[in-house]
């Protein structure tokens, strides 16, 4: 009868995170008076939560920017979720790349002994 379920960890994680999203959506709607529409589409489950009683929320996507000119759209890329690098880290990286570039330039330059031996051969 079974044995360990290899998908259990993923299933539990999805269930826990979707329940957290629902709880936070409800809190945002009740405590802050925000209109919240939550749509989760996953191979395991599709779920919709709408804090507004009428079907007018959310408005169609075409009407969003017209009705809400200050609308912010969050990109879905992984990089966007990473906080910006701090100035210290950027300076450190610039110094590292400058050092590496100098090293590469020195490797590509012929040394003085190579230049003199090359000139001896050509004469």
* Tens-place pLDDT, residues 62-103: 788 888 888 887 776 654 444 566 777 777 778 888 888 888
Residue 111 token pair: 């040394």
Tell me how far CA of residue 94 lies from CA of 59, 83, 97, 101, in angstroms. 46, 19, 5, 10
pLDDT at residue 32, as a whole number: 93
pTM given for the model: 0.52
CA distance 59 to 56: 6
| Mean pLDDT of the region 119-123 | 57
Boundaries of every domain in the chain = 8-75
pLDDT band at 113 (very low <50, low <70, confident <90, very high): low
pLDDT at residue 81, as a whole number: 47
Name the residue among 52, 46, 47 with its Cα closest to residue 26. 52
CATH 3.40.1810, applies to 8-75: yes
Whole-number percent of the chain with pLDDT over 70: 79
Q: DSSP letters along 47-99, please?
A: EEEESSSSTT-SPPHHHHHHH-TT-------HHHHSPPPPHHHHHHHHHHHHH
Do 9 and 22 form a contact (C-beta atoms < 8 A)? no
Long-range contact set of residues 85-93: C-beta below 8 Å, sequence gap at least 24:
none
């Amino acid at each position: 009868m079974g044995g360990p379920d290899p998908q259990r960890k993923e299933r539990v994680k999805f269930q826990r995170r979707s329940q957290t999203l629902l709880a936070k959506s409800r809190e945002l709607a009740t405590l802050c008076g925000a209109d919240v529409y939550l749509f989760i589409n996953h191979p395991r489950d599709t779920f919709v939560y709408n804090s507004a009683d009428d079907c007018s929320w959310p408005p169609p996507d075409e009407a969003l920017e017209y009705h809400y000119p200050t609308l912010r759209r969050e990109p879905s890329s992984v990089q966007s979720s990473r906080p910006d690098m701090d100035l210290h880290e950027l300076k450190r990286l610039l110094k590292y790349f400058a050092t590496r570039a100098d090293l590469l330039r020195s490797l590509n330059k012929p040394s003085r002994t190579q230049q003199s031996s090359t000139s001896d051969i050509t004469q």
